[in-house]
């Protein structure tokens, strides 16, 4: 995960950054809550200490999209840090009405997606 050039920036009292996330080598199907999807620890990327909002988008290839489905705590060196991690649910961009989630064990390591993260400094 890498902060994009030109970020972070400030929106009022919040810090905003765009980070580029590389997909996992073996995807786990998202089943709700903290189960499955791709865990992404945002701290300390781009200077955001806690996440207030995160928004995924389409992968650079255009074949997939990654949606932020949950913001949660992460654990670093045995310490739980509130709202410092998010879960991405990856979907295949289909030509039908609804996108279909990526199947289990699919290699997404060649895919990247930019994620907008807004939070506290």
Domain boundaries, position 100: 2-120
45 in helix, strand or coil? helix
For residue range 76-91, list pLDDT tens digits in order.
Answer: 788 888 888 999 999 9
For residue range 35-77, list pLDDT tens digits in order.
Answer: 999 999 876 656 788 899 999 999 999 999 999 999 988 887 8
Its pTM stands at 0.86
Pair 91, 21: CB distance under 8 Å: no
Residues 44 and 109: their CA atoms lie apart, in Å, by 22
CATH of the domain at 39: 2.60.40
Task: Kindly provide the residue ranges of all beta strands, DSSP E only, lying in 1-121, ordered along the sequence.
Answer: 2-3, 9-11, 14-22, 38-41, 50-55, 57-58, 64-76, 79-92, 100-101, 112-120
DSSP class of residue 32? Answer: B
As for how many domains the chain has, the answer is 1
For residue range 110-120, list pLDDT tens digits in order.
Answer: 999 999 999 88
């Amino acid at each position: 995960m890498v902060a994009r050039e030109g970020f972070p920036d400030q929106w009022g009292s919040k810090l905003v950054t765009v980070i580029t996330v590389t997909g996992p080598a073996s995807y786990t199907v998202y089943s709700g809550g903290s189960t499955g999807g791709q865990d992404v620890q945002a701290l300390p990327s781009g200077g955001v200490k806690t996440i207030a909002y995160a928004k995924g988008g389409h992968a650079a290839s255009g074949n997939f999209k990654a949606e932020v489905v949950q913001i949660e705590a992460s654990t670093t060196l045995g310490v739980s840090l509130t709202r410092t991690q998010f879960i991405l649910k990856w979907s295949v961009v289909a030509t039908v009405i609804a996108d279909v989630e990526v199947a289990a064990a699919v290699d997404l390591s060649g895919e990247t997606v930019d994620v907008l993260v807004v939070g506290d400094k």
